[in-house]
């Protein structure tokens, strides 16, 4: 994926709210206790890393990301690419796109949906219209997808270094897809409908919502490819990028859709559908470039 030299978004901020990951044992309890005092995080829930917990605490201080690291520059460009595409799509439909914020955090962060740790994985919070990404996410994806790059015989070190770029962009654009669902009122409809049905039916709606975010990520890739033709030769996609994202769609079943309600969320109750479904909806989006093709609900709402 080609990303250097394009505009970076000004909506990216950093938060170093929680510092180190919370460990177990006495040390962990002490740290959790301090966190409770400082950030209003319940120590018992904070110890259960990997959970988005009920919030209500104040937001950890955030600041505009001025650092020049590769990951921050990359995130800014990808977010700006999503802004450009979604502005275009909303304009075509006669409405205005409201840009989300993106917070890059280290260790722990407090959102309108509760506090989260790196173990939570990337997520979008409708309550503050913000995408949350922990900084360890990039290293993990590089590691996981770099191996795949080798297996596919992608050859030289240059290519191996790039392995995972588009997969990372895909994850960011999937989270932005949840933002689009919020702007379109779909998130609210799903929450509303989920309250009136059985848990199993609510889970099904949650899966359809995830698959639609995959499809929206595909729509973004299609439209960004068209858009960048005039900026970089051949557009922003490179050979192997789409396979890379499809591979990622199959491997990453881990983001958590944090709910606006503010109550505790059990991560395991959220699934993303089967790998096959994820790949199929992402493919549909990237082939059509049309939001209309992403009707995963088809009357279920």
Give the closest residue to 180 by CA, choosing from 225, 223, 117. 223
H/E run at residue 125: strand 123-125
Minimal distance in Å, beta carbon 220 to Zn ion? 14
Nearer to Zn ion, 1 or 213 (CB): 213
Per CB under 5 A, the segment of 23-31, 90-98, 215-223, 253-261 that binds Zn ion is 253-261
Residue 95 beta carbon to Zn ion: minimum distance, rounded to whole angstroms: 23
How many C-beta atoms surround the C-beta of residue 5 within 10 A?
A: 8
- By rule CB under 5 A, what count of residues binds Zn ion? 3
Shortest CB 211 distance to Zn ion, Å: 9
Which is nearer to Zn ion, 180 or 237 (by Cβ)? 180
Q: Which of residues 111-170 bind Zn ion (CB under 5 A)?
A: none
- CA–CA distances in Å: residue 31 to residues 21, 35, 189, 200: 9, 6, 39, 37
- The residue (of 163 and 217) whose beta carbon lies closer to Zn ion is 217
Residues 6 or more apart in contact with residue 53 via CB below 8 angstroms: 41, 42, 45, 46, 114, 115, 116, 264, 265
User: In this complex, which beta carbon is closest to Zn ion, that of residue 241 or of residue 255?
Assistant: 255
Hey, which residues between 208 and 237 contact Zn ion (CB under 5 A)?
210, 213
Residues 12-41, mask of contacts with Zn ion (x by CB under 5 A): ------------------------------
Q: In whole angstroms, what is the distance from residue 166 CA to residue 159 CA?
A: 12
Beta bridge partners of 63: 14
Q: Reduce the DSSP state of residue 154 to 3 states and report it.
A: coil
Give 35 or 217: the residue with its C-beta nearer to Zn ion.
Answer: 217
Q: Please, what is the minimum distance in Å from the beta carbon of residue 96 to Zn ion? A: 24
**122, 131 contact by CB (below 8 A):** yes
Q: Are 246 and 279 in contact (CB under 8 A)?
A: yes
Q: Smallest distance from the beta carbon of 154 to Zn ion, in angstroms?
A: 28
Smallest distance from the beta carbon of 210 to Zn ion, in angstroms?
5
- Choosing from 100, 247, 255, 273, the residue that interacts with Zn ion (CB under 5 A) is 255
Q: CB nearer to Zn ion: give 81 or 255.
A: 255
Tokens of 28: 């962990």
What does the binding site for Zn ion look like in residue numbers (CB under 5 A)?
Answer: 210, 213, 255
């Amino acid at each position: 994926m080609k990303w250097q030299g394009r505009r970076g978004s000004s909506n990216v901020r950093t938060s170093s709210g929680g510092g180190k990951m919370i460990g177990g044992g006495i040390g962990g309890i002490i740290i959790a206790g301090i966190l409770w005092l400082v950030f209003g995080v319940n120590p018992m829930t904070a110890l259960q890393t990997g959970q988005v917990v009920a919030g209500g605490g104040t937001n950890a201080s955030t600041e505009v990301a001025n650092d020049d690291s590769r990951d921050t520059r990359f995130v800014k460009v990808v977010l700006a690419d999503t802004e450009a595409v979604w502005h275009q799509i909303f304009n075509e439909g006669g409405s205005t796109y409201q840009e989300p914020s993106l917070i890059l955090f280290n260790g722990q962060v407090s959102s309108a949906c509760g506090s989260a740790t790196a173990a939570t994985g990337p997520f979008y919070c409708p309550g503050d219209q913000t995408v949350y990404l922990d900084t360890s996410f990039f290293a993990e994806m590089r590691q996981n997808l770099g191996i795949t790059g080798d297996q596919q015989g992608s050859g030289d070190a240059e290519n191996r270094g790039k392995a995972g770029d588009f997969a990372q962009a895909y994850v960011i654009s999937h989270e932005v897809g949840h933002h689009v669902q919020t702007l379109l009122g779909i998130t609210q409809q799903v929450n509303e409908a989920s309250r009136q049905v059985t848990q199993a039916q609510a889970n099904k709606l949650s899966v359809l919502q995830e698959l639609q975010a995959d499809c929206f990520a595909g729509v973004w890739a299609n439209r960004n490819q068209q858009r960048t033709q005039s900026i970089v030769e051949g557009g922003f996609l490179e050979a192997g990028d789409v396979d890379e994202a499809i591979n990622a769609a199959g491997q990453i079943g881990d983001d958590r859709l944090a709910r606006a309600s503010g109550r505790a969320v059990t991560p395991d109750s959220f699934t993303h559908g089967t790998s096959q479904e994820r790949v199929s909806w992402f493919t549909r989006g990237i082939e059509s470039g049309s939001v209309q093709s992403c009707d995963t609900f088809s009357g279920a709402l």
